[in-house]
Amino acid sequence: MRKIGWLGVVVAFFVAAGWLVQAQPATTPKPEEAGYVGAQACKICHNPAKGDQFKKWETSAHAQAFKTLATDAAKAIATKKGLKTAPDASPECLKCHVAGYGVKAELLGPKYDKTEGVTCEVCHGPASLYKTPHMKGKEAGLKAGMLDPGEKTCVKCHNPESPTFTAFKYDEMYAKIAHPLVKKPVGETKP
């Protein structure tokens, strides 16, 4: 048998270790493990220099969704519907007026704030897994779990189950929330 020496042992070790590492399954977090980081995390990049998408959201009805639950009109609707709790504490209302409502508490990051209402993360998914890759561009964000929402995303809340629903015209409503410098999605895409 031939001697391979200490260098051969080291090389053999690294080759074997490299093979073992490649043979191990990737430990990629699952989408359901993604956490909510809050809208303020999006503001950092989605600023006036890059299209001011944050301002578009901030001035929208979505940003006021939680606050509307404290209005007299919301309280009257809740009473009419027979809700036992105030609208801003009622699951029937919060599921569509708050980002991340109903998820495990450990998935709500330190800057998460339910009073932000319907944030970026309602449409694009919880951002903890895609926020950093998304800084390299939309495609990188999509590969890391960011959603490219379409009509199916909207009608989860904008539907006849909502007590204020009249009719939902996707194209008309999309125009109200369309982000500057972003093309309208052709359909829902997941990585």
Spatial separation of the C-alpha atoms in residues 39 and 42, rounded to whole Å: 5
Using one digit for the tens of pLDDT, what is the confidence trace for 142-182? 999 999 999 999 999 999 999 999 899 999 999 988 887 65
Backbone dihedral angles phi then psi of residue 161, each to the nearest 5 degrees: -70, -25
Spatial separation of the C-alpha atoms in residues 24 and 32, rounded to whole Å: 22
**Domain locations in the chain?**
30-177
The radius of gyration of the chain's CA atoms, rounded to the nearest angstrom, is: 23
Q: What is the mean pLDDT of the chain?
A: 84
Residues 82-96 have a mean pLDDT of: 96
pLDDT of residue 188: 54
Contact at 8 Å (CB) between 126 and 106?
Answer: no
Architecture of domain 30-177: Orthogonal Bundle (1.10)
- Looking at the chain, list the stretches that DSSP marks H as alpha helix, in order from N- to C-terminal side: 5-23, 40-43, 53-58, 65-68, 72-81, 91-97, 120-124, 131-134, 138-143, 151-154, 170-177
